[in-house]
Amino acid sequence: MASFLTASNATVPERKAEGLALLHRMWSRRSTPPRHLTEPGPTDEEIRMLVRAASRAPDHLHLSPFRFMVIHPDARDALADVFVAADRELDPAIMGEQLDRTREKAHHAPVLLAVISRVQANDTVPEIEQRASAGAALGYVLLGADLLGYGAMAVSGRRLTTAVMRSAFGLADNEDLLCFIGIGTAGKSRGVQSEPDADLLQTWLPGSRQTI
């Protein structure tokens, strides 16, 4: 079957039909918790494609306010050590089963992608825009993973803000670890979300408040 994405001679109705199919994928996408993601995960080439999609997130003045780091498959034990050290930084008394659970999280999902948000001082592009850009990039990766047939989910937690994690990921002062994205094969789907709240979209008309 011809792909409209690559067929430059696709007609407008053909492109729209494909767009509607993609939109349907967008609004039916659900997250799958990393502990439920199994092999196979995306290949290196597919990971590059996801990051390429993310690179098309809106980015005012091309400040590149985000970057990604894929956790090397051989680095899961090292990541578990970092998670444990981070949790100890947050709570020096933590021990036992809690630390076992922490350690497990570093082994969830075949692929773990760290999302790093970066903010540069800029007179034209305020911080909120740069953070929004990183959020859009994250969304593109989640959607792209879904389009490739994988399950994925963004996960974070307080440990991401610790000095231990910042140091382990070599973050500059203007960078933050936004989240990890776990990507892999999802077992059962969580089902389509219900319709969004009517309040999600309103019409701006001074003096009135209406939805369309």
* Cβ atoms of 142 and 113 closer than 8 Å: no
Our finding on whether 178 is near ligand FMN (CB under 6 A) is yes
* Cβ atoms of 42 and 109 closer than 8 Å: no
* Cβ atoms of 193 and 168 closer than 8 Å: no
Is 209 annotated as belonging to a binding site? no
Burial class (CB in 10 A: 0-12, 13-18, 19+), 133: buried
Our finding on whether 155 is near ligand FMN (CB under 6 A) is yes
Is 48 annotated as belonging to a binding site? no
The region of 96-104, 106-114, 154-162, 166-174 touching ligand FMN under the rule CB under 6 A is 154-162
Is 29 annotated as belonging to a binding site? yes
The distance of closest approach from Cβ of residue 129 to ligand FMN in the complex, given in angstroms and rounded to an integer, is 17
Residue from the set 10, 30, 85, 185 that interacts with ligand FMN by CB under 6 A = 30
d(CA 81, CA 102): 9
* Sign of the C-alpha dihedral computed for residues 6, 138, 148 and 27 taken in this order: negative
The region of 4-12, 53-61, 85-93, 155-163 touching ligand FMN under the rule CB under 6 A is 155-163
Our finding on whether 64 is near ligand FMN (CB under 6 A) is no
The runs of H, that is alpha helices, within the chain are 12-28, 44-54, 76-90, 97-105, 127-147, 163-168
Nearer to ligand FMN, 15 or 158 (CB): 158
Q: How far is CA 99 from CA 80, 89, 122, in A?
A: 9, 12, 41
Nearer to ligand FMN, 16 or 158 (CB): 158
The region of 6-14, 148-156, 168-176, 197-205 touching ligand FMN under the rule CB under 6 A is 148-156
The distance of closest approach from Cβ of residue 97 to ligand FMN in the complex, given in angstroms and rounded to an integer, is 19
Rounded (5°) CA angle 122-124-127: 55
Q: Number of residues in contact with ligand FMN, rule: CB under 6 A?
A: 11
Query: Which residues are at the interface with ligand FMN (CB under 6 A)?
Result: 30-31, 153-157, 178-179, 190, 193
Binding residues for FMN: 29-31, 56, 60
